[in-house]
Amino acid sequence: MISLTSPVETRAHRWPAGVKLAALCGATVVLFSQEGLGFHAVVFAACLLVYRLPGRRFFRAGVKGLVALWPFIAVVLVWHIVIGAPVEGLVVVLRLLSAVALANLVTMTTRLSAMIEVVRWLAAPLRRVGVNTRALEIGIALVVRFTPTLADKGAQLAQSWSARSPKKPSWRIVMPFTVLAIDDAEHVAEALKARGGLTR
């Protein structure tokens, strides 16, 4: 899952946001162009090494975002085992983990305002033809900001269910989680309206 900027200072914190986002796009293209299990295993190991270099605190924060992917990983692996393609399943899982790890690394080492500035620069041609790009800029900021918040709330719901029932929560927390997400969205919408909306 996407993390907020890490307080642990690294060299990557000082790199330009545009360079990091461009590198992320290029790395993602390479990941999806390769099918070898060995290649993806090496890339994922390299991602873990990069997380470990700044220290244990940074490593734990990065790995925490990857652990949140376990439901998707389980579904992908089970499906590929059922269809008789376990190696292809491992490739998909490693590709997913590496892509999320790299994206998470960018958000952990880049201020949100710096990423919005990059989006604003990229969207400059649209503004010249009268398109209001403020919604795009705010939308990206909200995704980065609220993804970890929603992930934490989902984990809290799962823990609450486990404390009250011996059964696994699975799909049973989908509805209350949806209600929480809608409630947060309404509060954010009201806050945006109170500050002038997206027209300025």
pLDDT bin (cut points 50, 70, 90) of residue 174 is confident
Q: What pLDDT is attached to residue 151?
A: 72
Is the C-alpha dihedral spanning 169, 174, 176, 180 positive or negative? positive
Alpha carbon 148 to its chain's center: 8
Closest CA to 101 of 137, 38, 145, 58: 58
pTM for this one? 0.71
Residue spans per domain, the chain: 1-110, 112-200
Q: How many CB atoms lie within 10 A of CB 109?
A: 22
Average pLDDT over residues 86-114: 90
Q: What is the pLDDT of residues 107-155, one digit of tens each?
A: 889 887 888 888 888 888 877 887 777 777 777 777 777 777 777 777 7
Q: What is the pLDDT of residues 30-62, one digit of tens each?
A: 999 999 999 999 999 999 999 998 888 889 888
The pLDDT of residue 199 is above 70: no
Q: How far, CA to CA in Å, does 9 sit from each of 2, 6, 103, 174?
A: 18, 7, 17, 37
